[in-house]
Amino acid sequence: MISRRDFLQVSMAASALVGASGFGNWGRLAAQQKLTQDQLLDFDTYGNVSLIHVTDIHGQLKPIHFREPSVNLGVGDAKGQMPHITGADFRKAYGIADGSPSAYALTYDDFSALAQGYGRVGGLDRMATVINSIRASRPDALLLDGGDTWHGSYTCYHTEGQDMVNVMNTLKPDAMTFHWEFTLGGDRVREIVQDLPFVALGQNVFDAEWDEPAEDFAPYKMFERGGVKIAVIGQAFPYMPIANPRWMFPEYSFGIRDENMQAMVDEVRGKGAELVVCLSHNGFDVDKKMAGRVTGLDVILSGHTHDALPEPVVVGDTIIIASGSNGKFVSRVDLDVRDGRMMGFRHKLIPVFSDVIEPDAEVTAVIDAQRAPYMDQLSEVIGQTDGLLYRRGNFNGTWDDLICDALISEREADISMSPGVRWGPSVLPGADITREDIFNVTSMTYGKAYRSEMTGEFIQVILEDVADNLFNTDPYYQQGGDMVRIGGMGYKIDVSKPQGERITEMTLLKTGELIDASKTYIVAGWASVNEGTEGPQIWDVVEDYIRKEGTVKVSENNSVKVVGT
């Protein structure tokens, strides 16, 4: 985190870096409890280049509710640093008033109450209005999509991403990079990419057999905007074949490959690039580390870890922009590029309040056309919830509590596991749960719910392994998800310890007994990365369970004890 005062102290090349955030504007307006589209979009156009960043939309065509995390721990150098600050501490860091629209958009407290007042967020037709407004003031602004776009909903699943492709094309992006897109399968990704009216980027997408850059993706693209030569270098999710099923795209290899990133920066600088932008799906901490290792990156547009930061984080001469997820925000970054270098920036994280921002009618029509064939399925009410269903948090969320309960109940298991993904909108207390809601938190191409036997020892190995993906102090060993969610079992985790020493006190909740390393337990879970996993689709398991329950009861989950923070 960097304060506004710090911005002024950062020097860049010979000239002072002038930074400003438009965030304060709507923060103040919030206190007056009136919010208009003009205020949300207000921006004093600056410099000669504008970047528009959207990322991690996860298939959300329509406005949704999305509660930000209460627990998002940083370890090592990231401890207590943005984006690892939540709630009141986050509001304090940015001077956000309690109960304000910004508090609602960026923090978790009082979410259900504030949602009643401020309504839904996102929707690609509202995003279109924001983008068009930026283009009205800067017609040649670059629109860059950080990926995780063609995944995450009922319609996206059933059209294999085509709904998102069709709608995104109406927004006319200039470039895109990727993560969950690859879980559509290598063939499907190539089929879509071949027809995209914009460039598909990934300097770290390699041919797995030859360990050479894959031909289907360009490492970068040069643009000329506002008289400035701009290079946009793509960085796809580095841990694609590890965090997601490798067998779905065996022809590709990924990795961070910061030596190749440096080579690409040098190459585009050699071609005369005056501004070098990295469109990244690394995750925030990985981007921060990369910014310190690769020289010559002016801007990193950061995706994957779903952080929404109202001000850029500055590392050396690089600014890192985090634009949230699920369609909730659009980032605008105006830059002053002169004499071959970035002299200053102005930035605004624009929250897409969908009741305030007028939808773009043309885009609404395209969205509705994608959904029309499926409306009966989407809108069917499966049950109700008595409390807020949300996903985000390092260790658990009420959506995954529900999914874990469903797995134990429907699959007759001792213990259940739900992957620590960060996508999936929230459902408010008292609301209906529709089939669309269930798909929003479960939709994927490898969603079968397995049931298998695991020893206590092996369960611990899994927990230790996943914990190290999250709490390794070196960001390059972090994969950017949250802890695997566990049902039916409690445990204690010391996040400050190394792998193999973090997890203790594993307890079977139904008996209160400690987990026996040599004993075998029935474990149900979903989203296995192994090929040939058998079982019903997770959304069917959850739907069956909710139908039986009628009204889902949400209770506090105290089964994970966290220390070492």
| Residue 244 sits in the site that holds other proteins (CB under 8 A) | yes
What is the total residue count of the chain?
565
Look at residues 367, 356, 353, 403 and name the one whose alpha carbon lies nearest to residue 104: 353
| Residue 431 sits in the site that holds other proteins (CB under 8 A) | no
Residues 80-109 that bind other proteins (CB under 8 A): none
Reduced to 3 states, what is the DSSP secondary structure of residue 222? strand
| Residue 481 sits in the site that holds other proteins (CB under 8 A) | yes
d(CA 459, CA 40): 48
| Residue 536 sits in the site that holds other proteins (CB under 8 A) | no
Long-range contacts of range 451-455, CB-CB < 8 Å, 24 or more positions apart?
451/411, 451/412, 451/413, 451/522, 451/523, 451/524, 451/535, 452/522, 452/523, 453/520, 453/521, 453/522, 453/523, 454/415, 454/520, 454/521, 454/523, 455/517, 455/518, 455/519, 455/520, 455/521
Size of the site for other proteins (CB under 8 A): 55
Residue closer to other proteins, measured from CB, 223 or 237: 237
| Residue 67 sits in the site that holds other proteins (CB under 8 A) | no
d(CA 100, CA 84): 21
Among 42, 476, 509, 540, binds other proteins (CB under 8 A): 476
Residue closer to other proteins, measured from CB, 225 or 422: 422
Task: Convert residues 174-213 into a mask of x (bound to other proteins by CB under 8 A) and - (unbound).
Answer: -----x----------------------------x--x--
Look at residues 310, 358, 306 and name the one whose alpha carbon lies nearest to residue 331: 310
Q: Is the dihedral of CA 278, 282, 288, 289 positive or negative?
A: negative
Residue closer to other proteins, measured from CB, 226 or 324: 324
**Which residue carries 């998800």 as its tokens?**
481
| Residue 262 sits in the site that holds other proteins (CB under 8 A) | no
| Residue 242 sits in the site that holds other proteins (CB under 8 A) | yes
Among 220, 254, 329, 399, binds other proteins (CB under 8 A): 254
CA dihedral 176, 177, 183, 187 (to 10 degrees): 70
| Residue 217 sits in the site that holds other proteins (CB under 8 A) | no
Residue closer to other proteins, measured from CB, 346 or 391: 391
Q: Write out the two tokens for 345.
A: 């920036």
| Residue 65 sits in the site that holds other proteins (CB under 8 A) | no
**Which residue carries 């920036």 as its tokens?**
345
Among 461, 509, 522, 562, binds other proteins (CB under 8 A): 461
166 phi/psi in degrees, rounded to 5: -65, -40
Q: Of 44-52, 111-119, 252-260, 326-334, which segment contacts other proteins by CB under 8 A?
A: 252-260
Q: Do 303 and 56 touch, CB atoms closer than 8 A?
A: yes
Question: Cα–Cα distances in Å, from 203 out to 26, 146, 215, 264, 278?
Answer: 37, 14, 11, 8, 10
d(CA 309, CA 354): 19
Centroid of chain to Cα 58 = 8
Q: Of 236-244, 261-269, 334-342, 381-389, which segment contacts other proteins by CB under 8 A?
A: 236-244
Among 420, 447, 456, 487, binds other proteins (CB under 8 A): 420
Residue closer to other proteins, measured from CB, 45 or 455: 455
Minimum Å gap between C-beta 153 and other proteins is 16
| Residue 59 sits in the site that holds other proteins (CB under 8 A) | no
d(CA 157, CA 163): 9
Question: Cα–Cα distances in Å, from 227 out to 199, 208, 273, 297, 337?
Answer: 21, 38, 11, 19, 9
Q: Of 22-30, 40-48, 459-467, 506-514, which segment contacts other proteins by CB under 8 A?
A: 459-467
| Residue 237 sits in the site that holds other proteins (CB under 8 A) | yes
Minimum Å gap between C-beta 420 and other proteins is 5
| Residue 457 sits in the site that holds other proteins (CB under 8 A) | yes
Among 42, 266, 267, 468, binds other proteins (CB under 8 A): 468
| Residue 395 sits in the site that holds other proteins (CB under 8 A) | no
| Residue 337 sits in the site that holds other proteins (CB under 8 A) | no
Look at residues 115, 139, 152, 141 and name the one whose alpha carbon lies nearest to residue 327: 152
| Residue 417 sits in the site that holds other proteins (CB under 8 A) | yes
Minimum Å gap between C-beta 284 and other proteins is 11
Among 62, 221, 306, 332, binds other proteins (CB under 8 A): 306
The site for other proteins (CB under 8 A) is made up of 179, 208, 211, 237-239, 241-244, 246, 253-256, 259, 283, 304-306, 417, 419-423, 450, 452, 454, 457-458, 460-462, 465-466, 468-469, 474, 476-477, 479-484, 499, 525-530, 533
